[in-house]
Amino acid sequence: MAGPEKKVIEKNSHGEYALTAYGEFLSYFHTHIQLFSSLISAKKISAKDQEALKSKIRSYIATNVQKTDHFFDQLPQFAQFLGMSSQDLSSYMNRNFLGALNKVKAKLLEQESVLEQTPRKKKYSRISDEIIEGLGFTFPSGHRFEAEEGIIFLVDMATGTKREAAALGEVARETAAAVAAARPVAVPVRKGPETPILAEILAKYGELFSGKPLILQVEELEEEDASVPMGEEILSDVEDLHFDGDFSFEATAVSEPPVSIPFSKYMDQVNKVRVFQKAGQLEEYKRWVASLPVEENALVQLQTSLLKESRGEVVEWDGTLGQLGTRTGLSESRLRKVLELGRDFFRIRNQLESSWNKAKNASPQVAELVKKAWPHILRVMDEYPDFTSIKGKMDQLLSRIPDASQRKILSDLFLNPVLSIRRN
């Protein structure tokens, strides 16, 4: 799998094979490829498009990833390639990565230890060296080939003696014996470039050969005959590992589209619930909830349980989701996605409402400014979970405020606290 420049395994102080630093990197590479391939295979696209996407990701890794830590840094880009949210991909990787990594490491050690114990094919700098070693003798000096009536003869140029070329080995051995018995003499210095034996044969007797030339394609060459790519191309020719046993992943959950409910719509619904509660309009509330799209319906009904959870009360989520699934018809896996989004929205809402209350007490000017900006702030939060986009749009919104001190107050109140949620 790797040339001598990049050893994958080596023996440790106990005499056991262990992965090198490059081997560790390769294990991360193969683990990501296996996990991403599982996700791609679940996509409803043609096999050709699946292979093209896998190749695109492999090429991106080869160009942009040099350390194991870089894989995690590139998670948003991988999510974009795979057509899913960074949050969903992160959750999928958290569930599957360690188990897959252990399997990949075991497979790498198994394959590479077998290669280490397999005799390597000897390298030859010239094809003539390989021919000579294979024959066991060299072409005897002072002889040449001649053709006569379709037969190739080996001619001793000093005596004119002819022998069929089939006796080449015998002549070479006799010549070698004679040289060994004779007194050593100085080897004459050759003048001019030496003509390779094969070139000489073809030049003189090329018309006697027949058949088509043998041309090896790149894919027909043995792996060790190909040069080892270096630098940014180091992973471009690394083949995927092939596992005989089960190597499945939990891809079903992420094959579903993410729950898509804008934050501003969620806030509108929270405010409507408050209006119904304040007016005591229970029947009107029920009819309104029943009219909502099914996932928004579930999100509204989860708010009471989320409030209890935020107060530190114990919520029996299995039972709660089971009852909600009966009422809405949503699967448990889908309801858990709604619950995950509801938790995030609940935290963002609490933070924004806390900032709103602080703004009202800051100064009349800031309070009035926040009141005007509030609908725009909620629409910025529609970009969740893309925090980069949230920051970019919030910066654009704040740039419209001419007073620098007021811009800083609103940034401290609404942007920085929301961005901190990403790190919690």
State the pTM of this model.
Answer: 0.42
Q: Which two tokens stand for residue 299?
A: 């999100």
pLDDT at 62: 82
Q: Which two tokens stand for residue 35?
A: 């996990």
The pLDDT-based confidence of 275 (bands split at 50, 70, 90) is very high
Domain residue limits, the chain: 9-117, 263-345, 346-421
Instruction: Tell me what the pLDDT averaged over the chain comes to.
Output: 76
pLDDT at 296: 92
Strand order in the sheet with 162-164: 143-148, 151-156, 162-164
Nearest C-alpha neighbor of 259 from the set 330, 316, 324: 330
CA distance 5 to 1: 11
CA distance 296 to 264: 12
Nearest C-alpha neighbor of 415 from the set 383, 402, 368: 383
Residues in contact with 42: Cβ distance below 8 Å, sequence separation at least 6, in sequence order: 251, 252, 255
pLDDT at 3: 41
Across residues 378-407, what is the average pLDDT? 87
How many Cα neighbours within 13 Å face the side chain of 363?
7
pLDDT at 68: 81
385 cis-preceded (ω within 30 degrees of 0) = yes
Across residues 33-40, what is the average pLDDT? 88
Across residues 284-292, what is the average pLDDT? 91
pLDDT at 269: 92
CA distance 130 to 280: 95
Q: Using the predicted structure, report yes or no on whether residue 300 has a pLDDT greater than 80.
A: yes
CB pairs under 8 A, 24+ apart, for 111-115? 111/1, 111/241, 112/1, 112/8, 112/9, 112/17, 112/23, 113/9, 113/17, 115/1
pLDDT at 223: 38
CB pairs under 8 A, 24+ apart, for 10-19? 17/109, 17/112, 17/113, 17/116, 18/109, 19/105, 19/108, 19/109
Q: How do strand 17-19 and strand 162-164 relate by DSSP bridges?
A: unpaired
CA distance 312 to 291: 32
Nearest C-alpha neighbor of 373 from the set 347, 349, 399: 399
State pLDDT tens for residues 157-168. 778 777 765 555
Q: CA torsion 135→223→6→37, rounded to 10°?
A: -170
Across residues 239-264, what is the average pLDDT? 61
Contact 388, 398 (CB under 8 A): no
* pLDDT above 70 as % of the chain: 68
CA of residue 401 relative to chain centroid, distance: 43
Q: Using the predicted structure, report yes or no on whether residue 301 has a pLDDT greater than 90.
A: yes
CA distance 275 to 277: 5
The pLDDT-based confidence of 313 (bands split at 50, 70, 90) is confident
CA of residue 9 relative to chain centroid, distance: 21
- Point out which residues pair with 148 in neighbouring strands: 151
Residue owning tokens 């909502």: 292
CA distance 128 to 196: 8
Tell me the three-class secondary structure of the chain, residue by residue: CCCCCCCCEEECCCCCEEECHHHHHHHHHHHHHHHHHHHHHCCCCCHHHHHHHHHHHHHHHHHHCCCHHHHHHCHHHHHHHHCCCHHHHHHHHHHHHHHHHHHHHHHHHHHHHHHHCCCCCCCCCCHHHHHHHHHCCCCCCCEEEEEECCEEEEEECCCCCEEEHHHHHHHHHHHHHHHHHCCCCCCCCCCCCCCCHHHHHHHHHHHHCCCCCCCCCHHHCCHHHCCCCCHHHCCCCCCCCCCCCCCCCCCHHHHCCCCCCCHHHHHHHHHHHHHHHHHCCHHHHHHHHHHCCHHHHHHHHCHHHHHHHHCCCCCCHHHHHHHHHHHHCCCHHHHHHHHHHHHHHHHHHHHHHHHHHHHHHHCHHHHHHHHHHHHHHHHHHHHCCCHHHHHHHHHHHHCCCCCHHHHHHHHHHHHHHHHHHHHC
* pLDDT above 90 as % of the chain: 9
